[in-house]
Structure 1
């Protein structure tokens, strides 16, 4: 039995129904049209991401109406006919990508996030996790370690997977220095903890009081206020690296000067990994040509990397700083906090408190 016989026909969901307009929170049909590799997840927690704003603004333009949020975690309620690795009742972090082709070079390399033939990311190109149920693909999902809670796992589905892969792409070795520009945000404070778990030293750069405080609280060895200007930021990075700069930098900030700052604090011949998504990435030619700063981009983790990330989270007690609201009807309150610039970490929506109670009884502690 697939489990669908125990699933209701209707559910509450938060949707983009018109670009540039507020979300509509209403009842819609539960997505029961499972394809062979699909899982139907009963959402426990869903998380707000910057990309959600891009969808609502029409920068990404899925068919409407589209249920928001591509960061979700919950319990398997039903399984497709070809699913063998998941069972009803498993606790799962939703994978972003739905129906990769399994035939292109990227899919064969274990990188379905780059598949050009898949249906895209949930909540961005197709229906997402701001709902009581969400349809996901078992091939891109990950079971949760017993210690990892839904409240931690939901933000990791994109934010965690993005910064974890970027740090791995940066290739910084134990004892070396990593720069994080935008260190005090939702991705940045996770990046600090991942770096520490790898015994990497961190120079964290941010431009908000809240961000600077969070970067310090999560353990950045050096925290620099970008509002002091690029020269002061570069000096602070060079002061702790024998005048050379950090070995590599990850740029998380969309600020116009952020990419240039990320390159400037990186030592000669070093690497800057760009994960922020401004309309234009601007870097002075002197950084590229005279200092030989290399620039890579990075998206989200591969399936293998996301499962590795969850083990790192469990083993190193990595925590997500969350700003929870309770119930899908409270999403407007979460948006108000996010737009205020006062949010510390990630905004999450507790969709099903009963699942969270059960997992506490089961020993989830992170």
Structure 2
């Protein structure tokens, strides 16, 4: 079922060779949907750290591939088995594509299909992503965007937001928050985001630990979410966490290094986290809507500005998230209340 005439071709920003700039190409719009699929007109796409790993060949991505695994837009067509979405729905697109439903991960304790050994991933491996005018997505990993949440906020939440959902939105969940960063811009955003205590990591590990323990009665924080690739970040995360508690590691350095004195002697539980289930994504968006949460974004207009966005991201000076506005008309419709 479709809601509008779908063009035969579209623009897309693709990785066509490793360690090279994105190439703006004209590619077919594939509207021949599988039963569980949606076709969306992309409004906003997000540039994530993983996109750099794709460009560098670290993930072994077959090329060419349309980049970006985080996006948001409007449904224009649905597959024959889709009942939860209809043309005109505003959606946040999930990264996982075609979970098998039969592997141990799909049948495990996590709500499927959060993990799947056989799934492909939009913009990463096996399926094109959201640096394009249209995209095919799996309805089983998509979530509806509430009316008072904008596409610019929703797109960066599709992976980065889902992965750190309960940590990033801790204030909205009623928790006390300690924020640690080593950049002036990051510290500023942490304060503006409502952290109860902000600690400058540039003062050294000892000062950071002392500062955190001072405001937690000497015990350390109940749980820590680590988003930093810095070599010492995992160790620092364990050091500021109280004994027998949990560190959720989201960052993706080449190696995660933790001294045994922090991990073993203090009985710290370290767990990884990747994306979320569709239900958790929907719950997150509702929390964003209920509390008026927004994402600080650096918006670039159109695929032609891809390299400017990448230059800013690589400079280390970007505050917040980098997004590409694919369809300004959908953004304008939000401002007019025509959602």
- 1:139 partnered with 2:134: no
Aligned equivalents of 2:163, 2:95: Cα separation in 1: 11
Q: SS of 2:311's equivalent?
A: helix
Q: Deviations over 1:217-237 (max 9, x none)?
A: 111111111111100000110
5 Å-filtered alignment, 1:164-243, equals 164=165, 167=167, 191=168, 194-243=169-218
Q: SS of 2:251's equivalent?
A: coil
Match of residue 163 from structure 2: 162
5 Å-filtered alignment, 1:293-304, equals 293-304=268-279
Match of residue 61 from structure 2: 62
Q: SS of 1:47's equivalent?
A: strand
Flag as ranges the 4+ runs of structure 1 deviating above 3 A: none
Aligned equivalents of 2:176, 2:147: Cα separation in 1: 29
Deviation at 1:69, TM superposition (A): 0.4
Match for 2:281 among 291, 306, 320? 306
- 1:327 partnered with 2:328: no
Match of residue 7 from structure 1: 6
Q: Deviations over 1:238-282 (max 9, x none)?
A: 110111111111111111000000000011111111111111110
- 1:16 partnered with 2:5: no
Deviation at 1:72, TM superposition (A): 0.4
Match of residue 269 from structure 1: 244
Aligned equivalents of 1:75, 1:92: Cα separation in 2: 6
Match of residue 52 from structure 2: 53
Deviation at 1:32, TM superposition (A): 2.2
What TM-score does the superposition give when structure 1 sets the normalisation length?
Answer: 0.89
| CA shift in 2, pair 1:5/1:209, >3 Å | closer
For the 8 Å contact 2:146–2:286, the answer to whether it is kept is: yes
Match of residue 121 from structure 2: 121
Match of residue 88 from structure 2: 89
* RMSD value, Cα: 1.3
Q: Please state which structure has a larger fraction of its residues in helix.
A: 1
Aligned equivalents of 2:4, 2:283: Cα separation in 1: 34
- 1:362 partnered with 2:337: yes
- 1:73 partnered with 2:48: no
Q: Deviations over 1:161-209 (max 9, x none)?
A: 01115x3xxxxxxxxxxxxxxxxxxxxxxx1xx1100111111111111
For the 8 Å contact 1:16–1:64, the answer to whether it is kept is: yes
Match of residue 250 from structure 1: 225
Deviation at 1:95, TM superposition (A): 1.0
Aligned equivalents of 1:296, 1:304: Cα separation in 2: 21
For the 8 Å contact 1:141–1:303, the answer to whether it is kept is: yes
Aligned equivalents of 1:59, 1:47: Cα separation in 2: 19
Q: SS of 2:96's equivalent?
A: coil
Deviation at 1:78, TM superposition (A): 1.1
Aligned equivalents of 2:267, 2:315: Cα separation in 1: 38
Aligned equivalents of 1:236, 1:54: Cα separation in 2: 34
Q: Deviations over 1:40-89 (max 9, x none)?
A: 11001111101100000111122211000011000011111111111111
Aligned equivalents of 1:268, 1:37: Cα separation in 2: 45
Q: SS of 1:237's equivalent?
A: helix
Aligned equivalents of 2:84, 2:115: Cα separation in 1: 23
Unaligned runs of 5+ in 2: none
Match of residue 175 from structure 1: none
What TM-score does the superposition give when structure 2 sets the normalisation length?
Answer: 0.96
For the 8 Å contact 1:76–1:87, the answer to whether it is kept is: yes
For the 8 Å contact 2:3–2:88, the answer to whether it is kept is: no
Aligned equivalents of 2:320, 2:4: Cα separation in 1: 38
Q: How many residues align?
A: 336
Match of residue 182 from structure 1: none
Aligned equivalents of 1:284, 1:224: Cα separation in 2: 22
For the 8 Å contact 1:4–1:32, the answer to whether it is kept is: no
For the 8 Å contact 2:61–2:124, the answer to whether it is kept is: yes
Q: SS of 1:60's equivalent?
A: coil
Aligned equivalents of 2:247, 2:224: Cα separation in 1: 5
